[in-house]
Structure 1
Amino acid sequence: MNYILSTIALVLLASSQVWSKNSRDSFRQDSTYTQHLNLAYGPAEGNGNLLDLYLPTKHSASTKLIVYVHGGSWKWGSKNDFPKILVNTLTSQGYGIVTLNYRLLREGKNRFPAQIEDLQNAMAFLSAKASTYGYNGNEFALLGVSAGAHLSLLYTYKYDKGKQIRTVIDIVGPTDLTDKTFRENPSGGNIITQFLGDANPKAAIAVEASPIHYLTKESGVPTIVFHGESDELVHVGQAKALYKKLQSLGIQSQLELYPGETHEMRKSLFSIYSKITLWLQKVYPAK
């Protein structure tokens, strides 16, 4: 799933948007943004609880943040997957960007809900440090890809008690881990069993980890969903079911389906980025 955002970055570069390749300094000011890298937001060892913060050069207490949660089947990926060209583009529009690591699934370790605990700690950190770094710490947008979209949706619908999340952007995320058909898919079912520690789709933990089961009129926020209709890993029915429930609850939502596209969404990347930009302008404007 790292492919999606990386290829969007190449498309934008081909469109002649100017960007600079920054070294991984702990602090650096670019012509368009200021960066604070490898901030520790939680107690996990190693790189598991680090985040990067990018702010427009002219940021203030009203600057809104977009928080990126990476994909990789809960086992792979990192905060570095978010391309710098997208940081440049979004900060130039007035947004702050956060990219974060969470604990990755290992043999018998870091099973669910470790990743949600990390996301809770990250959001608490961002709220607490708003005045230190200079941004709005009261409201956020979550942008997740694949496993990161699953975590973003679940955090918003179940764990966001302070109602700080204003919108969720779901790119090919699983929404129901109790779906028997989904769990029997050899492409993803085994990974979900590792993630949950239980092969039974009816297990209580499968319900606890399924965003769609916690979506209510009260917990829902504006949500946009992107999914390929030929997704071999996360069946498109997951996206359709989420959208159907969002609509039935009267929650502002948008479903973007791409015929013939697989989980990598190879042919529709520029469309995705363009629609994300329009969605943000509508439901979470920078100013």
Structure 2
Amino acid sequence: MKKYTSIFGILLLIIFTGCKKTIDLGKDASFTIEKNIAYGKDADQKMDIYIPENQTKEQDIFVIVHGGGWRGGRRSQLTNFTFDLMKKFPENIFVNIDYRLASSTRFALPDQTDDIKNVMNYLEKNLKIHPKYILLGNSAGGNLSMLYAYKYDQDKKVKAVINIVGPADLNDPRFKNYDDYAFVEKHLIDPKIVDNSISLMDFGSPVYWINKDSAPTLSYYGTKDNVVPSSQKKILDSVLNKNKVYHESYEFDGNHLDWEKQSNSTFLINKIDSFLKNLDKK
């Protein structure tokens, strides 16, 4: 793989304008942290970047995408989980992002998938690298990660998707019990970007866009989730199987937020590790 030049090291010192510090997570997991980096003009377009201090070669970049029903949540909700991932993958760059939130006057799409692209463009321009990306998101962030990878990743930069309790099929009758489903129907997608031959809920459903070239995907769903039901796992698995896309899926015993419990998150991180190692062997 391509080696970093000395210019890369200099760039790390000068290109960012946020608050910088170093964090030592043990076991040679030491990172330089750049916080509150603006990757766009909107106040929501901010991110934290974690770069390994001992990095010697270009590695995959984890892009962490928070949940919150497309109109709430902040990247800080996933900071601790990001630290746990950094301990497991001490040679990778991590980027924990905020994105433009939806409201009754602003649609989630295309802004939020555009923001994933905006983050990638910023990193490649400023770090002078051309990495592969691992998109990891929970809930709405899982939906956005899958949707970006399956529909918008025309250059095939996404190596893998880690989908945690993400809505994969917005037409699922059980998902329609979601108490904010009316918002999803009316404010998730700008109708101007949707062809008349496609329904809005199909457009926003990652499963609609899966094909044989879609990114490998690991999914994690709760057996007692009353927000994103476990039926989503079965639907997603079925479509990935049909298209012969490499994937793994797992369940935890709990509700929508219980994936964050220590035992569940540790299980997930170990499965992510083995999943990515399997990909590297292919």
TM beyond 0.5: yes
Partner of 2:184: 192
Partner of 1:211: 206
Q: Secondary structure at the match of 1:216?
A: coil
Partner of 2:51: 55
After superposition, give the CA deviation of every residue in 1:168-207 in whole Å (9 maximum; x if it has no partner): 0000000112334422x14242342343269xxx972222
Alignment of 1:169-248 (within 5 A): 169-183=162-176, 185-196=177-188, 204-218=199-213, 220-248=214-242
Alpha carbons 1:61, 1:130 under 8 Å: kept: no
Alignment of 1:33-48 (within 5 A): 33-44=31-42, 46=43, 48=44
Q: Take 1:125 and 1:171, find their aligned partners in 2: how far apart are those partners?
A: 25
Alpha carbons 1:188, 1:233 under 8 Å: kept: no
Q: Take 1:166 and 1:89, find their aligned partners in 2: how far apart are those partners?
A: 17
Q: Secondary structure at the match of 2:235?
A: helix
Partner of 2:4: none
After superposition, give the CA deviation of every residue in 1:235-282 in whole Å (9 maximum; x if it has no partner): 211111111111222211111023x42212256333223222322333
Partner of 1:276: 272
Q: What one-letter code is carried by the residue in structure 1 that aligns with 2:114?
A: E
Q: TM (normalized to structure 1)?
A: 0.79
Cα deviation for residue 156 of structure 1 reads 0.1
* Identical amino acids, percent of aligned pairs: 28
Q: Give the gaps of 5 or more residues in structure 2.
A: 1-17, 25-29, 191-196
Cα deviation for residue 41 of structure 1 reads 1.2
Q: Secondary structure at the match of 1:82?
A: helix
- Please say which of residues 241-250 and 269-278 is displaced more in the overlay: 269-278
After superposition, give the CA deviation of every residue in 1:5-24 in whole Å (9 maximum; x if it has no partner): xxxxxxxxxxxxxxxxxxxx
Q: Take 2:189 and 2:80, find their aligned partners in 1: how far apart are those partners?
A: 35
Q: Give the gaps of 5 or more residues in structure 1.
A: 1-24
Q: In the alignment, which of 131, 135, 138 is matched to residue 138 of structure 1?
A: 131
Q: Take 1:178 and 1:275, find their aligned partners in 2: how far apart are those partners?
A: 29
Judging changes above 3 Å, is the alpha-carbon distance between structure 1 residues 49 and 279 closer, same or farther for their aligned structure 2 residues?
same
Stretches (4+) displaced over 4 A: none
Q: Take 2:62 and 2:221, find their aligned partners in 1: how far apart are those partners?
A: 21
Q: Take 1:234 and 1:274, find their aligned partners in 2: how far apart are those partners?
A: 23
Does 1 or 2 have the higher relative contact order (CA < 8 Å, sep 6+)? 1
Q: What one-letter code is carried by the residue in structure 1 that aligns with 2:38?
A: A
Cα deviation for residue 84 of structure 1 reads 4.4
Q: What one-letter code is carried by the residue in structure 1 that aligns with 2:91?
A: G
Q: TM (normalized to structure 2)?
A: 0.80
> How big is the alpha-carbon RMSD for the aligned residues of Structure 1 and Structure 2?
2.5
Partner of 1:105: 102
Judging changes above 3 Å, is the alpha-carbon distance between structure 1 residues 238 and 108 closer, same or farther for their aligned structure 2 residues?
same
Provide the aligned length of Structure 1 versus Structure 2.
Answer: 250
Judging changes above 3 Å, is the alpha-carbon distance between structure 1 residues 234 and 83 closer, same or farther for their aligned structure 2 residues?
same
